[in-house]
């Protein structure tokens, strides 16, 4: 989908990647609704982008993605403010195995709520015009990350949701394409604070070693380039790995003998 003239909703839009996604979408000529649990930072992002891109192109609505009714208010605000909704980025997420139940709620339940609301507000079967949903999975949603076992499971869940809902069984009826962006480690608070939120003390040196091996983290602007490729070119169900200068589609399948 060409984002120009479209309306996009970004959850977790006050954070490192969400902010970069909002900027890339505005640059491409879309209008943007950002939502987040942090209204102070969310409002600041809106003010910054209003001075760069002009008024009436971006709004902030506070919502916790683990509360479907709150998240629904963001969808309603998109429709009532900009009269349409075309792109939903299920981006809000945390990487904190030490509060794993909350992490499962945000990373998995929040994405399911976002998907179901996208069908309600954009699905052709409900009188909508169709659209694109982008779920934020991760390199950890494709490979195992033993130092973050539960985060890794949530991101594999997001990958699975994308592949299942991305199937034509759904897309042909709803007109909603579902794709995933799978970033490698990126320079945001989520990654930079990772050491504080491990589940087991013995994992600290393992994470420190993994960080050393990775070296430089991906810039949020580069991950946003991957997001825009996924929106523009992604077929429903596609998974976009964005890491180390490379933006490419990955396939996952089990070969039958
Ligand atoms: N940074 C990375 O290395 C990396 C790599 C791969 C995937 N990801 C994924 O990208 C997404 C964004 O991560 P980020 O690096 O920008 O993190 P971040 O911590 O910089 O930002 C996350 C944002 O989500 C918000 N948030 C947290 N809980 C929320 C909730 N319940 N409801 C609504 N908003 C909530 C936070 O307030 C914050 O603004 C996450 O899903 C993350 O798992 C990040």
Pocket of ligand 1 (CB under 6 A): 11-12, 14-18, 36-38, 64-66, 91-95, 106, 136, 138, 183, 185-186, 188-191
Tens digit of pLDDT for each residue in 82-111? 999 999 999 999 999 999 999 999 999 999
Q: How far apart are CA 18 and CA 3, in angstroms?
A: 16
Query: What pLDDT is recorded for position 255?
Result: 72
Please name the residue whose Cα sits nearest to atom 17 of ligand 1: 190
Q: What is the pLDDT of residue 257?
A: 64
Catalytic status, residue 119: no
CA of 13 to the centre of ligand 1 (A): 8
Q: Are 124 and 130 in contact (CB under 8 A)?
A: yes
Report domain extents, the chain.
Answer: 7-250
For residue 129, the model assigns a pLDDT of 98
Ligand 1 centroid distance, CA of 34 (Å)? 13
Distance CA 43, CA 202 (A): 39
CA of 173 to the centre of ligand 1 (A): 30
10 Å Cβ neighbour count for 251? 6
pTM metric for this prediction: 0.98
What is the three-class DSSP state of 28?
coil
Superfamily in which the 7-250 domain is placed by CATH? NAD(P)-binding Rossmann-like Domain (3.40.50.720)
Contacts 24+ apart (CB under 8 A), 111-114: 111/65, 111/135, 111/157, 111/158, 111/161, 112/161, 113/65, 113/66, 113/68, 113/71, 114/11, 114/65, 114/71, 114/88, 114/90
pLDDT at 256: 72
CA–centroid distance, residue 125 to ligand 1 (Å): 31
Give pLDDT < 50 ranges for the chain: none
Which residue lies with its CA nearest to atom 42 of ligand 1? 93
pLDDT the model gives residue 215: 85
């Amino acid at each position: 989908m060409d984002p120009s003239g479209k309306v996009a909703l970004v959850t977790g839009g006050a954070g490192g990647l969400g902010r970069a996604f909002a900027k890339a979408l505005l640059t491409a000529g879309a209008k943007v609704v950002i939502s987040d649990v942090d209204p102070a930072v969310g409002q600041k992002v809106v003010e910054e982008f209003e001075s760069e891109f002009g008024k009436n192109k971006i709004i902030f609505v506070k919502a916790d993605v683990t509360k479907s009714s709150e998240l629904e208010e963001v969808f309603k605000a998109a429709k009532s403010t900009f009269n349409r909704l075309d792109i939903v980025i299920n981006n809000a997420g945390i990487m904190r195995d030490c509060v794993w139940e909350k992490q499962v709620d945000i990373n998995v339940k929040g994405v399911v709520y976002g998907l179901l609301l996208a069908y309600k507000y954009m699905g052709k079967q409900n009188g909508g015009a169709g659209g694109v949903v982008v779920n934020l999975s991760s390199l950890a949603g494709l490979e195992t990350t033993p130092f973050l076992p539960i985060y890794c499971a949530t991101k594999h869940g997001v990958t699975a949701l994308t592949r299942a809902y991305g199937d034509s069984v759904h897309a042909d009826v709803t007109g909603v394409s579902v794709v995933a962006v799978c970033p490698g480690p990126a320079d945001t608070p989520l990654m930079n604070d990772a050491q504080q939120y491990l589940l087991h003390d013995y994992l600290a040196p393992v994470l420190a070693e993994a960080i050393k091996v990775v070296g430089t983290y991906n810039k949020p602007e580069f991950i946003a380039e991957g997001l825009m490729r996924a929106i523009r070119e992604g077929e429903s169900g596609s998974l976009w790995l964005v890491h180390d200068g490379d933006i490419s589609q990955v396939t996952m399948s089990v070969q039958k003998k």
